[in-house]
Amino acid sequence: MEEEKIEIQKMLDKLNSKLSDVMPHKLYLASISEIDYLEKNARYMTKEKFAALTHNISKDSALSSVPLVYRKPEDGRLLVLSGNHRIKAAAQAGVTEFLVLLIDHELTRDEIIKIQLSHNQISGQDDEQILRELFQELQDVEAILYTGFTSEEIQKLKSADFTAIKEEPLYYEEISLLFLPEDVPRLRELFKTIAEGASAHLIFAGRVSEYESILQGLIAAKQGQNIINSTLAFFAMASVVNEYLTGKVDNLQEAMEEGTDETVTFTLGATRKRISKKTAQVLRKTIKEMADKGMDLDASLLSMAENK
């Protein structure tokens, strides 16, 4: 028997050599006599669960999953980092040899603990509806017992009534804005006043379908107020909404394009300065009237200059 184990390990060593570039651990045929268990193991198993595990291993005459062990440099024995209950159940079922994943390089105490805890902690969760559907497909009593569910869990799966819900993939868009430390208090105060101003209005959560309108709002704020930075444009949008909700501006679209300041930026050629909103409104109205008459922008400005 010992000779057979040596031959199997030689084959495993050849395989380990081939896998060395893709797998950090080694496959090893362990004997129960080489095993040491963790003195402290946060993961526990009820007697009923352990009995079910022992029954399954006895039925299979083997482990169906591979434990992780560490070869202790001081005595060469194998310390089980993941799979303590499986190996204990194997011993109780009379299975004395099994395949393990072996860590044979030295580990610190911190490394041993972090591996132990991570293997215990990082695990998936069951979708209860799918779990129930799979369980109800089982017809054979032995197959039901093999699952390891307790009698209470089996009863729950049989009696549970789940409403079928088709979950569509979540589609979303994301806008990233960076606020500098001195801007954060201003933003909080701005949102507070918006919330107070909107208290008498219906408030809706944003939908992804409104992403485009938000984006267009940012573009309008940038173009109308000569803003380059998206975060500043967001501030400008929030300021406009606040002014509108508190009744300080009447036309939301104009306010979005012009901002809430009393002056706006006026650019003509190399000249750029801030002029009053009233002046800007007069200019815009005059140019629009001329454009409605069929004049282009150049002709409109020239006419205004001649009639000054």
| 308 lies in the same domain as 285 | yes
174 found inside a domain: no
Tokens 């009698």 locate to: 151
42 found inside a domain: yes
* CB contact at 8 A, 84 and 37: yes
Report d(CA 242, CA 196) in Å as an integer: 9
230 found inside a domain: yes
> Based on the structure, what is the number of domains in the chain?
4
Report d(CA 239, CA 242) in Å as an integer: 5
* CB contact at 8 A, 157 and 137: no
| 109 lies in the same domain as 133 | no
| 31 lies in the same domain as 104 | yes
Q: Which domain holds residue 298?
A: 265-308
Report d(CA 24, CA 70) in Å as an integer: 13
Which residues on adjacent β-strands are paired with residue 82? 68
What's the CATH number where 31 sits? 3.90.1530.10
| 204 lies in the same domain as 269 | no
235 found inside a domain: yes
Q: Over the stretch 94-108, which tens digit does the pLDDT of each residue have?
A: 999 999 999 999 989
Name which of 137, 187, 171, 180 is nearest 157 in CA terms.
137
165 found inside a domain: no
| 142 lies in the same domain as 210 | no
Side-chain-side CA neighbours of residue 172 (13 Å): 5
Task: List the chain pLDDT tens, one digit each, 308 residues.
Answer: 688 888 999 999 999 998 888 888 999 999 999 999 988 887 888 888 888 889 999 989 999 889 999 999 999 999 999 999 999 999 999 999 999 999 999 989 888 888 887 777 666 666 677 777 777 777 776 777 667 767 677 777 666 555 544 555 555 555 555 566 667 777 777 767 766 665 554 444 455 566 667 777 777 777 766 777 777 777 777 777 777 777 777 776 666 666 666 666 666 555 666 677 677 667 777 777 777 777 776 776 677 666 65
168 found inside a domain: no
166 found inside a domain: no
- Give the DSSP H or E segment for 193: helix 183-197
| 106 lies in the same domain as 24 | yes
| 7 lies in the same domain as 100 | yes
In the chain, beta strands by DSSP E? 26-31, 35-36, 68-71, 78-82, 97-103, 263-268, 271-276
Name which of 74, 69, 72, 87 is nearest 32 in CA terms.
87
| 43 lies in the same domain as 109 | yes
| 77 lies in the same domain as 105 | yes
| 277 lies in the same domain as 254 | no
| Dihedral (Cα; 292, 256, 260, 308), 10-degree rounding | -20
Query: Using CB atoms within 10 A of its CB, is residue 34 exposed (0-12), middle (13-18) or buried (19+)?
Result: middle
| 19 lies in the same domain as 103 | yes
Report d(CA 37, CA 30) in Å as an integer: 14
| 189 lies in the same domain as 117 | no
175 found inside a domain: no
